[in-house]
Amino acid sequence: MLNHDEEAIRGFRALYHSYGYKRYKMSKFEEYDLYVANKSFLASDNIVTFPGVGGRLMALRPDVTLSIVKNAATGAGEIEKLYYNETVYRPEGGELKEITQVGLECIGRLDDYAMGEVVLLAARSLALVDEHYLLTLSHMGIVSAILDEAMPADEPPALRDKLLGCIGEKNAHGLRALCAEAGISEAATERLAALMQLGGAFGDVVEDLRRLCGSTPAALAALSELENIARMLELYGTSSHLRLDFSLVNDLQYYNGVIFKGYLRALPSELLSGGRYDRLARRFGREGAIGFGINVDLLERLGGVGDEYDVDVLLTYDAGVDADALTRAVKMLCESGQSVRVQPAGAPVKLKFRQQLSMNERGLEIGE
């Protein structure tokens, strides 16, 4: 049988292809300048570099999204739907790690359907791996709109970043202390604190969210987007796995819309993360973009048949066995959906298998 991560990659690719996404292939290298200019978008600023042809400083790719947005061929009014299966390179703990990442990007003129489709595909990707999954959803448009109303006009941008940090940590004490220091009103402070604590099934908390949005146009527009996404997931029967969580925040320099993370019950951290990042896309002349990535290497931590056995059938054969007969036996087993390891009788066996068969002059027999 295939390993769990290999099965998942094959399933992801089939899913994205079925929605009309095209496979995108890229180089392992990019010019270092691309990452320097967008360092805060990266998960880590530790980038492995080397001198390239012509004296250019090159980097092993630490991120896929930047490369795709930079190179996507979209014109005015167009939309490009791409998926990828790539390796990224990140230093961790003093070592260079190769991380297998699968994901997709929808780039260009986005509407409610395009956004909903990407979030839906995120949910369906998680479901391919395990039916016990959770997709948490937030919206930087709502967070930004409420922050804008709360912050005094003359406050430095650093205050916004500090407040976002408190929201992400669910640090109510720190949030209130910052607001008091900045002269933010008690009503605005409590509105931010309530948003930070808001979480639960969409239907259970949407009215509380509506009250927090009040009459703020930008917040209400963002709420409408969330409601459209929730309806789309409900049509596909996946809405029971959806949760709102407004402690989920990201860098407002890049992200302006819906953001989300996906979890499996058996994993200690998120498997999937994504969001809408129009501000980054516009740096490269694109109208907008939304996407997500999956850390496939985390799937190795999952148990299952792929970890228990290396192969379904070990087929050994005696010297002098007819090669055509052996080929027909292997073909039959493979066509029945089983994986087969073929080797001469008596050769050392260094793998785990479900069943052993042997081929000799009498034909195909069940092994000992």
Give the number of C-alpha atoms closer than 13 A to the C-alpha of residue 126, restricted to the C-beta side. Answer: 29
In a domain, 258, yes or no: no
Specify the DSSP class assigned to residue 37: T
Does residue 31 register a pLDDT over 80? no
In this predicted structure, what is the pLDDT of residue 103?
95
CA distance 120 to 239: 10
Question: What does the pLDDT read at residue 306?
Answer: 47
| 257, part of any domain | no
Burial class (CB within 10 angstroms; exposed 0-12, middle 13-18, buried 19+) of 56? exposed
Domain termination site, one of 205, 229, 251: 251
| The total number of structural domains that make up the chain | 3
pLDDT recorded at residue 241: 95
Q: H or E segment at 289? A: strand 289-295
pLDDT at 320: 85
The CATH number of whichever domain residue 270 belongs to comes to 3.30.930.10
Distance CA 68, CA 82 (A): 9
Do 212 and 332 belong together in one domain? no
Q: Is 8 in the same domain as 41? A: yes
Mean pLDDT computed over 14-20? 95
pLDDT at 303 exceeding the cut of 60:
no
CB hemisphere CA count around 164 (13 angstroms) = 21
Q: What is the pLDDT of residues 258-287, one digit of tens each?
A: 999 999 988 888 999 999 999 889 888 889
Which domain, by its residues, includes 162?
134-251
Within-domain flag for 66: yes
Highest mean pLDDT among 196-200, 280-284, 346-350: 196-200
Q: Average per-residue pLDDT in the chain?
A: 87
Residue 346 lies in a domain: yes
Q: Do 193 and 287 fall into the same domain?
A: no
Shared domain for 26 and 41, answered yes or no, is: yes
Angle between helix axes 140-150 and 202-213 (nearest 10 degrees) is 30
Instruction: Indicate whether 107 belongs to any domain.
Output: yes
- Report which of residues 349 and 83 the model is more confident about: 83
Same-domain pairing of 194 and 73? no
128, 269: one domain: yes
Q: Is the pLDDT of residue 218 over 90?
A: yes
Pairing of strands 133-139, 242-245: parallel
Is residue 240 situated within a structural domain?
yes
Name which of 54, 77, 69, 91 is nearest 24 in CA terms. 69
Q: How far is CA 313 from CA 151, 250, 342, 352, 353, in A?
A: 66, 48, 8, 9, 6
- pLDDT tens profile 306-321: 456 788 889 888 888 8
Task: Judge whether 275 lies within some domain.
Answer: yes
Q: Are residues 280 and 197 in the same domain?
A: no
- Whole-angstrom CA distances from 357 to 42, 312, 351 are 51, 11, 15
DSSP letter for each residue of 63-112: -SHHHHHHH----TT-EEEEEEEEEEEEEETTEEEEEEEEEEEEEES--H
Determine the Cα–Cα distance for residues 222 and 214; give it in Å rounded to an integer: 12
Report if residue 53 sits inside a domain: yes
pTM, two decimals, is: 0.78
User: What pLDDT was estimated at residue 200?
Assistant: 95
For residue 1, is pLDDT > 60? no
CB 260 within 8 A of CB 122: yes
Q: Is there a single domain that holds both residue 13 and residue 119? A: yes
How far are the Cα atoms of 13, 25, 41, 139, 194 from residue 100, in angstroms, in the given order? 14, 14, 19, 27, 38
Q: What is the CATH number of the domain that holds 345?
A: 3.40.50
End-to-end Cα separation, the chain, in angstroms: 21
pLDDT band at 177 (very low <50, low <70, confident <90, very high): very high
pLDDT at 2: 40
CA 252/CA 104 separation, integer angstroms: 21
* Same domain membership, residue 115 and residue 10: yes
Same domain, 114 and 190: no
pLDDT tens digits, one per residue of 65-87: 888 888 777 666 689 999 999 88
- pLDDT for 367: 65
More confident site: 331 or 36: 331
Based on the domain organization, do 276 and 360 belong to the same domain? no
Whether residue 289 sits in one domain with residue 244 = no
